[in-house]
């Protein structure tokens, strides 16, 4: 029987540390990868097409939407983001666990189409800590920071729609909690039955 991976949806307000936590999770947890989304925003310094994002024009993005390419898509900060349905399904079918980093809108779209998902929301310890992190980037003016704070509060109001909640106060603690969710999911009976049929048959004395 072919093993099937799990789709982990991870959402968080900007500044909560989601990207850093996911990067650290990948380094310490084999068999899991991140879905590479399509976006219409311009590449940032150091970003590589096909690695960080698939960078496309608005026209290309709209064509993909019309063709039903995306499992989910949304507009965030005046740019469009979308997840390829085929890419996700192929990786899951191969037995790989996949992380989908999207906002609450995208998470709702995915949950409506795929039953077997695990959703995790990451929160900052306080509004003050969140604002300090946004200011610490040194990239935005006051107007942008104010907008990001408003958007963050709106995003955080949807935490109750997720399966798990992780508060990123201490980074190592938050990483450990995130990893626990992934590892616990792998030990579920339905997952083990798919991935260990020969071993289970041998333990029970079943003949092939």
- Exposure on the CB side of residue 120, measured as CA atoms within 13 A: 27
Which pLDDT value is given to residue 1? Answer: 35
Distance, CA of 190 to CA of 14 (rounded, Å): 35
Looking at residue 206, its pLDDT comes to 67
Neighbours of 80 (CB within 10 A): 20
Contact (Cβ atoms closer than 8 angstroms) between residue 108 and residue 17: no
Q: How many residues in the chain?
A: 208
The pLDDT value recorded for residue 29 is 96
Tell me the backbone φ, ψ of residue 57, rounded to 5 degrees.
Answer: -80, 165
Which 3-state string (H, E, C) describes 133-181? Answer: HHHHCCCCCHHHHHHHHHHHHHHHCCHHHCCEEEECCCHHHHHHHHHHH
**Spatial CA neighbour of 104 closest among 204, 5, 3, 16:** 16
Per-residue pLDDT of the chain (208 residues; tens, 9 = 90+): 345 899 999 999 988 999 999 999 999 999 999 999 999 999 988 999 999 999 999 999 999 999 999 999 988 778 999 999 999 999 999 999 999 999 998 999 999 999 889 999 999 999 999 999 888 766 677 888 898 899 999 999 999 999 999 999 999 999 999 999 999 999 888 777 777 777 777 778 765 5
| Residue 81 parent element (H or E) | strand 79-84
């Amino acid at each position: 029987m072919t093993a099937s991976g799990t789709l982990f949806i991870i959402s968080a307000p900007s500044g909560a540390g989601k990207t850093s936590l996911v990067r650290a999770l990948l380094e310490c947890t084999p068999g899991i990868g991140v879905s590479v989304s399509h976006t219409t925003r311009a590449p940032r310094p150091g970003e590589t097409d096909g690695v960080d994002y698939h960078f496309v024009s608005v026209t290309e993005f709209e064509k993909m939407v019309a063709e039903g390419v995306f499992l989910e898509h949304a507009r965030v900060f005046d740019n469009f983001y979308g997840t390829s349905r085929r890419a996700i399904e192929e990786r899951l079918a191969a037995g790989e666990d996949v992380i989908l980093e999207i906002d609450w809108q995208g998470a709702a779209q995915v949950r409506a189409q795929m039953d077997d998902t695990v959703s995790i929301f990451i929160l900052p310890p306080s509004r003050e800590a969140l604002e300090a992190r946004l200011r610490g980037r040194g990239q935005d003016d006051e107007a942008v920071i104010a907008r990001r704070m408003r958007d963050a509060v709106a995003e955080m109001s949807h935490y109750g729609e997720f399966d798990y909640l992780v508060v990123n106060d201490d980074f190592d603690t938050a990483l450990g909690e995130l990893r626990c969710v992934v590892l616990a999911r792998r030990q579920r009976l339905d997952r083990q039955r798919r991935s260990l049929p020969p071993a289970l048959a041998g333990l029970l004395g079943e003949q092939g």
